[in-house]
Amino acid sequence: MRILAHGDTDGVCAAAIAKSQFPDADVWFTRPVRLLRYLQEIEPGTTVMIFDIAINETEKDEIFARMRELARADEVIYVDHHPLPADTLKKDIPATQLAHEVGISSSELTFRLLIQDPRSDLDRVALWGAIADYCEQTDFVQEKLNKYDRRTIYMEAGLLSQALGEARGDYDYKRQVVEALARGIPPSDIPELPERALRATKREWGVYEYVKNHVVLEGNIAVIYNLPHGSLGKAALYAMGITGAAVGMCTRQENDEVDISMRKRANAKVDLNILLRRITARLGGSGGGHEGAAGATIPAHMLDTFLEIVKREVAPISRLSPTA
């Protein structure tokens, strides 16, 4: 039995909810650009659960073919909240069990799919994942928040989110967190987690200062090139907020690839998910996410081309003043 999950807080919480029901399942962390590779490594006859991993548009046909092959031999469960690739319907996903809805966290969807007892305290885990992914405006979350003190739930969500950001590539530690959450242990009681969260928060203020000193305006886009450390998404958010640009963008190059994260203002008339999916498909990369927060991976030599295309697409959006 294999769990494939995104390594952010929503993915970790969804994996923990599943792990509570299937304690013998192995947990692997991956992301859309590597989903096909991981699926190909799984032997048919293995139960596969996929949480919070969008379908990579450029490999959609191959991913669906592999999922179909695995589903013929055993269960394939797919839970996600990212927009589907263009011209794709839910019925096209060859999973034996499916939960997909944009605007609802994967943690909430997983709880509703797998937990039969609505009074289960694992609803806390769903809340932490939803809050960390900015998906707390659903009826489920608002109802469940009445069961707890909101300040405590939000504090635990903040600790968990910050600590997992600090443990970006430390998958062994993330598996420990999954195990602890699955057993009902809150983040504040998980070994090392509060200390990791505090370190991450202190470093985050350092990232904020770095962004203030290095942000570059490219048309209507505030860009941080090759962030040396820290969260690309948060740096993109800071760049947007500090400059008043409609869109913030942050990059980091690793070997021959560039990872990109983008954020937009609520009133900016652009869908970053659609934009990045379309652009990266032309440049030999992959991308997508949500309307207001998305990411991409492209070949390093295509970065200038990528930026020029994005600048043209975002150009009609008026830039706000930093004090607006």
The pLDDT of residue 324 is above 50: no
Does residue 247 lie in a domain region? yes
Does residue 203 lie in a domain region? no
Is residue 254 domain-shared with residue 304, that is, in the same domain?
yes
Is residue 143 domain-shared with residue 13, that is, in the same domain?
yes
Is residue 41 domain-shared with residue 144, that is, in the same domain?
yes
Report, in angstroms and rounded to the nearest whole number, the Rg of the chain calculated over CA atoms: 19
198 contact partners, CB below 8 Å, separation of at least 6: 162
DSSP 137: T
> pLDDT (tens digit, 9 = 90+) per residue, 187-235?
999 999 999 999 999 999 999 999 999 999 998 899 999 999 888 999 9
**Exposure of 59 by Cβ count < 10 A (0-12 exposed, 13-18 middle, 19+ buried)?**
buried
The pLDDT of residue 34 is above 60: yes
- Euclidean distance between CA atoms 130 and 13, whole angstroms: 9
Does residue 206 lie in a domain region? no
**pLDDT category of residue 249 using cuts at 50, 70 and 90:** very high
Domain of 120, in residue numbers: 2-195
The pLDDT of residue 319 is above 60: no
Is residue 75 domain-shared with residue 116, that is, in the same domain?
yes
Q: Retrieve residue 205's tokens.
A: 């203020």
**Exposure of 93 by Cβ count < 10 A (0-12 exposed, 13-18 middle, 19+ buried)?**
buried
Contact 153, 145 (CB under 8 A): yes
* pLDDT given for residue 320 in this prediction: 52
Is residue 231 domain-shared with residue 266, that is, in the same domain?
yes
Token pair 């470093």 in the structure block, residue: 203
Task: For the chain, give the mean pLDDT.
Answer: 92
Torsion of CA 267, 268, 269, 272, to 10 degrees: -120
> pLDDT (tens digit, 9 = 90+) per residue, 233-246?
999 999 999 999 99
> pLDDT (tens digit, 9 = 90+) per residue, 143-193?
999 999 999 999 999 999 999 988 888 999 999 999 999 999 999 999 999
Total structural domains in the chain?
2
Q: Which residues pair with 221 in a beta bridge?
A: 218, 247
Contact 2, 53 (CB under 8 A): no
- Euclidean distance between CA atoms 146 and 139, whole angstroms: 11
Is residue 47 domain-shared with residue 150, that is, in the same domain?
yes
Query: Which amino acid belongs to residue 3?
Result: I
* pLDDT given for residue 267 in this prediction: 82
Predicted model pTM: 0.86
Is residue 187 domain-shared with residue 73, that is, in the same domain?
yes
Is residue 19 domain-shared with residue 131, that is, in the same domain?
yes
Is residue 187 domain-shared with residue 294, that is, in the same domain?
no
- What number is the average pLDDT over the span 55-81? 94
The pLDDT of residue 310 is above 70: yes
Is residue 79 domain-shared with residue 118, that is, in the same domain?
yes
* pLDDT given for residue 269 in this prediction: 84
Is residue 240 domain-shared with residue 100, that is, in the same domain?
no
CATH label of the domain that carries residue 184: 3.90.1640
Q: CA distances (Å), 232 to each of 40, 204, 217, in order?
A: 29, 11, 17
CATH label of the domain that carries residue 298: 3.10.310.40
Q: CA distances (Å), 310 to each of 248, 257, 260, 275, 296, in order?
A: 11, 18, 12, 8, 12
* pLDDT given for residue 167 in this prediction: 84
Is residue 181 domain-shared with residue 44, that is, in the same domain?
yes
